[in-house]
Structure 1
Amino acid sequence: MNEIELRFQIPESQWPAVRRWVAGTGKSVATEERLQASYFDTPERDLARAGFALRLRREGEVWVQTLKGAAPDGMTRLEHNVPLGADIPQLDVARHADHPAGQALQALLAELPEGALQALFRTDITRLTRPLRTPHGTVELALDRGALLAGEGDTLRSTPVAELEIELKSGEARAVLETARSWAIERFGLSLELRTKALRGDLLARQLDCAPVAGSHAIHWTGDMTRDDALHVLLRDCLEPVVGNASQIASGRHRPEHLHQMRVGLRRLRAGLRLLAADDDVALHALADGAGQLSRRLTAARDADAQAEAGWRLAMLAAWRVERPSAASAASDLPPATPIDVAALLLTPEVQGWMLAIIGWLARPAPDHAPEEEQGLTLVHRHVAQWRAATDKQVKRFERLDVEGRHHLRRRLRRLRLAMELTFAVPGGADGDKLSRKEIEARARQLARVHEAAQRLGALNDLEVGLAQAREQLALAMARGDVPAAAQAGFSLGWLRPRQKQALAKAAKAVKAVKAVKGLAAGNASKRAKPAKSAKGRKPD
């Protein structure tokens, strides 16, 4: 069977209200049971990496063995349950042999040593459940409270669990989505949780507090895809980098790379949606606008991370310590920057609702037939040609661009690079055209040049941000009469200026290489189709 569900984390302040709702009144009253489970994997976490969760769970007086597969759309998972009776059972993966997930698991285990599976952690949960009828089907509300447990005795470790699951029992997936939107997000302000109990329990067993970063990788459409196919691939491949990393960030604990990969995923998603959206496609443009707005709101936090991690900053501080050993701690006297609460931003109903919309698009049933405008992806080359033309205007006047103009060009080049990645394997021109080896090699060279220019401008931007910060620190230190801090800020300015000039020269050379490319992004389509008009007022990202 396929399990269609969404999970939400519940803050302590909202627990009483959510519990009253799930408990219900009148004829619709919830039932409560205790669930105790052991989760199995290899010490190397082979099952978890392959997207499996395997457990033995006591549900009331009955034991059930369950295997779950991955959820590529954020809410649909393969699930196979085997009731085992009241006696404490032993794990036996052969119980799932007739199920597709079980067959995939058997293939995985065949490559591993015999007896590799171990009980790595367990759960002790009290679950309150109630059915809820909606206009689009019946869902089950499940309120879980308890703990994830690993170790024994003095080594026992635990993580609290407080979450709501909304699972489809009959009807359309829309029943889950609309219940989630109207109640979990808008009424109670809960946050989507893509991290399963299996993942969080595994982190506990390994004594880690952060899930692995979900990297955003290049996505390639192909010429045989319909527009709907391409949209599904785009949303599926951006789900974990965006919503998965957001779940970890919203928990209050994350690494800088979680935020970085989330923003890369947002940029990739926005570029792809814009490529696929016709001028009058309000829904796709709204989804793209949401990605752009969220990315911009996260910019300050990401910039702070990038500045803190910059290799040149460590070199600059080392040079300052050599220059003024006795004043090396002057920077500590400066007021620290106000930290940016990215978790609070992601927990807003606006952002959670947008993320839910991504999952909703993925959960849509496939169309019976593709409309005429979705028969191919020729539209995307017209959009790329338009983006190329806009980028060319700034490339040609690069020498006259100021700091803000160079940053704007960097964003355009980055957007163009993402578009070229997506359309790399999509032939331009009439249906049926195929890319020759020569065209593929030319596109690869073009893509490399755009990527190099964007990277060089990124390195330049980091130094220019550092210069701006040093100027602000100098002004602040002088206003306070703080001579040591002013000396360090002045040193930073002197140290950064020549490196900024060097970075500017390298960026100019890389941009010149882009300028030399003719017909860069549009391929054959640039010769056969007029560029589509863009939606007005849209900014590059």
Structure 2
Amino acid sequence: MNTTSDMLEREIKFHVPPRRRAGLKARLRKLNADSIDLHARYYDTATQRLAQAGIALRLRREGDNWIQTIKLPGPDELSRIEWNHPRPEAVLDLSVYDGTHIEGLMAELGNRLICRYITHVTRLKKEVPTASGIAELAYDEGAILAGGLALPIHELELEGVSGEAADLFKLSREWLHDHELILELRSKAARGDALASLEVGSLGDTQATALKLASQGGKPARLPALAAEHVLRLAAPARAGQLTLAPDASLGAAYLECANDCASQIIRNSSFLAGVDGMKTSHEQRIEYVHQIRVGIRRLRTCWQLFGKAAECPDDLLENLKHHFQIFGQARDLDVIQTELLPRLIHAGMPPNTAPDTLEISDTSSARAGLTAAPEYQQVLLDLLEHLVLYGDKLPNDRALNKRAAPQLCKRLNIWLSDIKSKASAFLEADWDERHMMRKRVKRLRYGMEFSQGALDPARLTPLRNALMSAQKALGQLNDLYVAAEYYRGAGARHTSAMFALGWLAATQGHEAQASQMALQRLSKSGRFSPAAVKTRKQKRG
């Protein structure tokens, strides 16, 4: 008989920077934290079927006991459904999932499950009171091992044992500020899956690395360094997800799906830029992190505008994100000039003394990393997570948020589309500021359309999507020319080829403006948005 019952695990994870580890451990020891060694084996198929379903399966030795644990996706980024079963030995027993909704999957995969990676961790843990209950602090130090590769673990987890989620966030803010922690959304399982997917070495290599680590006292500082090609894959920039709302999705559920995807994009790229796992990312990766953070923030702001009052966005959160968006924008403008426009200028004949290696655009990588690692910025990210978690917690009891989303989304999208159409014919006569605003309007409409896919009539959506993508591309290229021209009139004016650059940019602007005008005209003739049809219960049964 199956006795498995759902236990919702909600925890906030932080990466602990090197200079803060000793102080954090000293604080936990002062609180009389318990120390325990945890050795875990994680199982999946060779093709990672469980990972693709968001499931993690492990056997973990906790002191003298073995515990079999499976974690399933929860309602938000911080939550997982967790089932634990004591085991007499280090052997999986999949029969404990009989009678559950994953019985079929586990029966199908049973003979194909193998140990993909292992973790060796020393944990300091302590339960502490909150205003409404209890939270567990757990500092883990150790490593994830797969084949001949390893990732260090230096993370603090704050798990809500009982009480309100708001109090768990309050406690997390205290530790974040005191120890300058970095918010981390990736679980050990997610990082282990990524490491194992590199397919370097075998289980025997994993065990050999584990034995070597144990012989050295298990110090993560002595782990083998990752090759550059491994870092490229492990720390790949996080891009926007492919969202497809259900045609009958409720307003609140649709908002959460869209906003959570934006938050994930912002936080994951911020974590990489701040230097989690001690990985030495490339200059190109750091440039892309900044770009993806800005894309995520712009998408989130569009999401808040699209859902309006239903999003219940706190004003201070919006202002803080706008502030950091502008700061990142200064670095992004220099990146665009250096990586995209400068090669075009040189190809057009600009003298080589302004080639990328001599153009005096400073590498601001360390400054960007410092910005994302700063407690002030990390606080904003934590505030964003809190907003989404608390919103999700109250959603089932809020009738206003449970009405169908599609009609409101279509209405808002068509208002934005009409605004673009009304101004498109005067685009060539508009000044730079108005052209820049047009680009923002088109980008907002495209993001809004992408959020609403699935809830929109696909036949009407296709021509609008194609026209929007063309218009955004044309306006983006035109905007890059304006940004470069401002640079060569200002800080770049000292370069001997600045006049050449300004002349070429001015000539090219005219051509790109014409292309943008044509793209806007095509968009104006591409129809309007309409809600997707919703199947009746009878149609669904058929």
Measured against the shorter chain, the TM-score band is: 0.7 to 0.9
2: CA distance between counterparts of 1:347 and 1:59? 33
- For residue 66 of structure 2, the aligned residue among 60, 63, 68 is 63
2: CA distance between counterparts of 1:329 and 1:283? 46
The C-alpha deviation readout for 1:191-211, integer Å capped at 9, x for no partner, is 211122233334445352233
The C-alpha deviation readout for 1:13-56, integer Å capped at 9, x for no partner, is 3223322433344xxx3211111223334444444333233333
Q: Which amino acid in 1 is paired with 2:480? A: D
Aligned residue number for residue 508 of structure 1: 517
- For residue 224 of structure 1, the aligned residue among 228, 240, 248 is 248
Conserved in 2, the CA contact under 8 Å of 1:69 and 1:78?
yes
1:169 matches 2:161: yes
The CA deviation at 1:287 is 4.2
**Pair 1:463–1:105, CA change in 2 (3 A):** farther
The CA deviation at 1:508 is 1.6
Aligned residue number for residue 441 of structure 2: 412
1:240 matches 2:264: yes
2: CA distance between counterparts of 1:413 and 1:317? 30
- For residue 403 of structure 2, the aligned residue among 365, 375, 384 is 375
2: CA distance between counterparts of 1:66 and 1:492? 61
**Pair 1:446–1:159, CA change in 2 (3 A):** closer
The CA deviation at 1:166 is 0.7
**Pair 1:5–1:414, CA change in 2 (3 A):** same
2: CA distance between counterparts of 1:274 and 1:118? 46
Q: Which amino acid in 2 is paired with 1:509? A: M
> SS state of the match for residue 166, structure 1?
strand
Aligned residue number for residue 179 of structure 1: 171
1:15 matches 2:21: yes
2: CA distance between counterparts of 1:512 and 1:6? 48
**Pair 1:466–1:185, CA change in 2 (3 A):** same
Q: Which amino acid in 1 is paired with 2:294? A: R
The C-alpha deviation readout for 1:33-84, integer Å capped at 9, x for no partner, is 1112233344444443332333332211222232223455111112222322
2: CA distance between counterparts of 1:202 and 1:9? 18
Aligned residue number for residue 431 of structure 2: 402
2: CA distance between counterparts of 1:372 and 1:501? 49
2: CA distance between counterparts of 1:266 and 1:19? 34
2: CA distance between counterparts of 1:373 and 1:34? 46
1:344 matches 2:370: yes
The CA deviation at 1:382 is 5.4
**Pair 1:140–1:56, CA change in 2 (3 A):** same
Q: Which amino acid in 2 is paired with 1:499? A: T
2: CA distance between counterparts of 1:426 and 1:43? 36
2: CA distance between counterparts of 1:127 and 1:292? 38
2: CA distance between counterparts of 1:426 and 1:54? 34
2: CA distance between counterparts of 1:304 and 1:40? 45
The CA deviation at 1:8 is 0.6
The CA deviation at 1:458 is 0.5
Q: Which amino acid in 2 is paired with 1:237? A: D
> SS state of the match for residue 332, structure 1?
coil
Q: Which residues in structure 2 correspond to 1:451-490 (within 5 Å)?
A: 451-472=469-490, 475-477=493-495, 486-487=496-497, 489-490=498-499
1:191 matches 2:154: no
The CA deviation at 1:132 is 1.1
2: CA distance between counterparts of 1:282 and 1:53? 33
Aligned residue number for residue 361 of structure 1: 387
**Pair 1:30–1:332, CA change in 2 (3 A):** closer
> SS state of the match for residue 57, structure 2?
strand
Q: Which amino acid in 2 is paired with 1:186? A: H
1: CA distance between counterparts of 2:374 and 2:36? 32
TM-score, normalised to structure 1, is: 0.77
1:300 matches 2:330: yes
The CA deviation at 1:221 is 4.8
1:118 matches 2:115: yes
1:75 matches 2:78: yes
Which consecutive residues of structure 1, in runs of 5 or more, have no partner in the other structure?
A: 428-434, 478-485, 524-541
Conserved in 1, the CA contact under 8 Å of 2:116 and 2:146?
no
Aligned residue pair count: 482
1: CA distance between counterparts of 2:344 and 2:255? 44
The C-alpha deviation readout for 1:273-294, integer Å capped at 9, x for no partner, is 1222339x86445444444443
Conserved in 2, the CA contact under 8 Å of 1:68 and 1:101?
no
Which stretch of structure 1 is more off in the superposition, 454-463 or 380-389? 380-389
- For residue 40 of structure 2, the aligned residue among 34, 37, 51 is 37
The CA deviation at 1:361 is 3.4
TM-score, normalised to structure 2, is: 0.77
Q: Which amino acid in 2 is paired with 1:337? A: S
**Pair 1:107–1:305, CA change in 2 (3 A):** farther
2: CA distance between counterparts of 1:513 and 1:492? 31
**Pair 1:164–1:373, CA change in 2 (3 A):** closer
2: CA distance between counterparts of 1:395 and 1:243? 36
Aligned residue number for residue 432 of structure 1: none
1:3 matches 2:9: yes
Aligned residue number for residue 532 of structure 1: none
Conserved in 1, the CA contact under 8 Å of 2:414 and 2:529?
yes
1: CA distance between counterparts of 2:249 and 2:194? 38
